[in-house]
Amino acid sequence: MAAPKIVVFAGSIRTGSINEKLARAAARSLAAAGAEVTHISLRDYPLPLFDAELQARDGVPDSARRLVDLFLEHQGAFVASPEYNASFTPLLKNAFDWMSRINIEGRPPLPAFKQRVFALGAVSNGALGGYRGLTQLRAMMELGLGALVLPDMVAVGNAAEAFSEDGGLTAPRTSAFLDEVVRKLVHHAGALA
């Protein structure tokens, strides 16, 4: 069986983002689990705020098309999403909104989200580790985009103490749980490879 291709990214482009740290930890774990990993930053895919009139006038931005093409090359994705006001980031919502506007002839609707599997994670300073935001993201992805999202979500609390100098997770149980979620992602994505 070919190694599944997994794209990894954070829903934040802030310098020093703690969720980018989680994305890096997930990328390392995915590579160790046998996946072919593509780690990206949404900074490299700048998009205007979604506006249907803008789309009607100018079409879908090239960055959204490039993101969809990237997703189509992969069987799975790990998304590390910060929690903003008990939800997920406007950056992530905007990227997914634009990506949802692209239809490709001969493919099902929402081609970037169908026929691939997603795993979600978050880091926050609070004890819940961004879990409230993950539930909102999960609902939007499953109900709005028809995505297959693994039931286990990695929520890492107490961000100031969560990562070691080498970028690994300091709590053994949390680190083991990330590895378990990653193995499930590789397994399910592998079935699509």
**Alpha carbon distance 134, 13 (integer Å):** 18
Q: How many domains does the chain have?
A: 1
Residue 121 DSSP code: E
**Higher pLDDT among residues 62 and 192, named by residue:** 62
CATH code of the domain containing 96: 3.40.50.360
- The tens digit of pLDDT for each residue in 65-90 reads 999 999 999 999 999 999 999 999 99
* Secondary structure (DSSP) of 46-106: --PPP-HHHHHHH-S-HHHHHHHHHHHT-SEEEEE---BTTB--HHHHHHHHHHTT---TT
Q: What is the pLDDT of the chain when averaged over all its residues?
A: 95
Segments forming the whole domain that contains residue 64: 5-190
Q: Tell me, what amino acid is at 188? A: H
Q: Is the pTM of this model over 0.85?
A: yes
> Which amino acid is it at 123?
V
Question: What confidence score (pLDDT) does residue 86 get?
Answer: 93
